[in-house]
Amino acid sequence: MTVTHDLSPETFWAFSTKLYSDPALAARCLRLQDNAGVNVNMLLFLCWCLQHQRIVVLKQWHTLKAAIAHSDQELQQHRQRRSAAKEPESPEHADYEQLKHTELELEAQQQSVLVSAFNNMNVDSTDMAGINASVVAFIHAYTLRDNPEAIADIRHIIKDIV
């Protein structure tokens, strides 16, 4: 069944921050980001889809990735700058907290773009909570099929949220 969307950036941000407050889940998200190139906002969006029984197919994941491509590049550059500023000898060390705050603002902006792109899609829903075709499509969108560590992290995340 195709459904209409009522997801707002604020609702998705609240959902994401609640999930991300779990240290084990956050660690898995960061490992997927650092080791497999997965965008954490997209991963959190997968979690939202699973909890709300929305099915996002491979073509739609590619559309969502394209929608946030520019902001993803900007975020990665900012994240590198913030990470470097974490070192005490860095000239930007005094600005670390502000850089962290700015990164959160960039994350929220990216989520807003993601939600907007999603709200313009026709997606199906299922009456089964948890695993659905969105997971397989997500794995293919990030070419993770041959990455057992990434698959294990995704399985753990799904287990934690379902």
Query: What pLDDT was estimated at residue 127?
Result: 81
39-84: per-residue pLDDT in tens?
Answer: 999 999 999 999 999 999 999 999 999 999 999 999 999 999 998 8
Distance CA 1, CA 53 (A): 11
**Per-domain residue ranges for the chain?**
2-161
pTM: 0.91
Asked whether the predicted pLDDT for residue 6 surpasses 80, the reply is no
Residue 5 has what pLDDT? 64
Strand pairing partners for 2?
124
Task: Answer for the pair 77, 103: CB distance below 8 angstroms, yes or no.
Answer: no
